Amino acid sequence: MSLRIYNTLSGKVEEFVPINPPKVLIYTCGVTVYDDSHVGHGRSLIVFDVFRRFLEHLGYQVKFVRNFTDVDDKIINRAKQECTDFMTIADRYIARYYVDMENIRVRPADVEPRVTEHIPEIIEVIQKLVEKGYAYVVEGDVYFSVKKFKDYGKLSKRDIEELIAGARVEPSEKKRDPLDFALWKASKAGEPAWDSPWGKGRPGWHTECVAMVFKHLGETIDIHGGGLDLVFPHHENEIAQAEAITGKPFARYWMHNGLVTVGGQKMSKSLGNYVTLREVYTKYHPDVLRLLVLFTHYRSPLDFSWEKMEETLKAYERLKNAIEDLELLKKLQVVESKEGGTHPLYEQVKEFEENFYASLSDDFNTPEALSHVYKLVGELNKVKNKAYSEGKITDRELSAYEFASKSLLNTMKKIFGLLEDLYPECKVERVVERELEAGQVFDEKLIQILIEARNIARKEKVFKVADYIRDKLKELGIVLEDTPAGTKWKKREGA
Partner RNA sequence: GGCGACGUGGCCGAGCGGUUAGGCGGGGGACUGCAAAUCCCCUUUACGGCGGUUCGAAUCCGCCCGUCGCCUCCA
Tell which positions 435-494 bind RNA, by CB under 7 A: 458, 463, 466-467, 470, 479-483
- Stretch of residues binding RNA (CB under 7 A), selected from 37-45, 57-65, 243-251, 434-442: 37-45
- Stretch of residues binding RNA (CB under 7 A), selected from 16-24, 84-92, 221-229, 281-289: 221-229
- Interface with RNA (CB under 7 A), residue total 86
Q: Which residues does 268 contact at the CB level (< 8 Å), separation at least 6?
A: 40, 274
Output 95 or 271, the one with its CB closest to RNA.
271
Instruction: Report helix, strand and coil shares of the chain as percent, to nearest 5.
Output: 50, 15, 35
* Buried residues in 194-211 as b, exposed as e (16+ CB within 10 A): bebebeebbbbbbbbbbb
CA distances from 244 to 126, 241, 431 (A): 11, 5, 44
Any contact of residue 94 with RNA (CB under 7 A)? no
CB of 9 to RNA, least distance (A): 13
Any contact of residue 70 with RNA (CB under 7 A)? no
CB of 405 to RNA, least distance (A): 13
CB of 455 to RNA, least distance (A): 9
- Stretch of residues binding RNA (CB under 7 A), selected from 30-38, 76-84, 331-339, 397-405: 30-38
CB of 425 to RNA, least distance (A): 26
Q: Which residues does 78 contact at the CB level (< 8 Å), separation at least 6?
A: 34, 35, 86, 89
Question: Helix, strand, or coil here: 186?
Answer: strand
Any contact of residue 205 with RNA (CB under 7 A)? yes
CB of 5 to RNA, least distance (A): 12
Output 31 or 130, the one with its CB closest to RNA.
31
CA atoms within 13 A on the CB side of 32: 16
Selected binder of RNA within 118, 234, 343, 434 (CB under 7 A): 234
CB of 20 to RNA, least distance (A): 26
Contact 409, 419 (CB under 8 A): yes
- Stretch of residues binding RNA (CB under 7 A), selected from 80-88, 135-143, 164-172, 280-288: 164-172
Output 57 or 382, the one with its CB closest to RNA.
382
Is 426 flagged in the annotation as binding?
A: no
Amino acid (1-letter code) at residue 462: V
Q: CA–CA separation, 37 vs 39, rounded Å?
A: 7
Selected binder of RNA within 94, 231, 334, 447 (CB under 7 A): 231
Output 41 or 52, the one with its CB closest to RNA.
41
Is 224 flagged in the annotation as binding?
A: no
Selected binder of RNA within 100, 141, 238, 363 (CB under 7 A): 363
Any contact of residue 353 with RNA (CB under 7 A)? no
Any contact of residue 365 with RNA (CB under 7 A)? yes
CA distances from 224 to 66, 121, 217, 249 (A): 10, 19, 11, 12
* Buried residues in 145-181 as b, exposed as e (16+ CB within 10 A): bbebbeebbebbebeeeebeeeeeeeeeeebebebbb
* Interacting residues with RNA between 285 and 304 (CB under 7 A): 295-297, 300-303
Is 234 flagged in the annotation as binding?
A: yes
Any contact of residue 196 with RNA (CB under 7 A)? no
Q: CA–CA separation, 400 vs 380, rounded Å?
A: 9
Contact pattern from residue 238 through residue 277 relative to RNA, giving x for each residue in contact according to CB under 7 A and a dash for the rest = -------------------x-xxx--xxxxxxx-------
Selected binder of RNA within 7, 312, 394, 405 (CB under 7 A): 312
Angle at 472 between CA 495 and CA 307, to 5 degrees: 20
- Bridge partners (DSSP) listed for residue 20: 23
Is 317 flagged in the annotation as binding?
A: no
* Interacting residues with RNA between 384 and 413 (CB under 7 A): 384-385, 388-389
Q: CA–CA separation, 234 vs 240, rounded Å?
A: 10
Give the neighbor-by-neighbor strand order of the sheet with 201-203: 135-138, 141-144, 181-186, 201-203
Contact 303, 311 (CB under 8 A): no
Any contact of residue 232 with RNA (CB under 7 A)? yes
Contact pattern from residue 115 through residue 154 relative to RNA, giving x for each residue in contact according to CB under 7 A and a dash for the rest = ----------------------------------------
Contact 321, 405 (CB under 8 A): no
Angle at 400 between CA 375 and CA 387, to 5 degrees: 80
Is 216 flagged in the annotation as binding?
A: no
Nearest one of 329, 126, 331 to 240, comparing CA atoms: 126
Q: Detail the residues annotated as belonging to a binding site for Zn(2+).
A: 29, 209, 234, 238
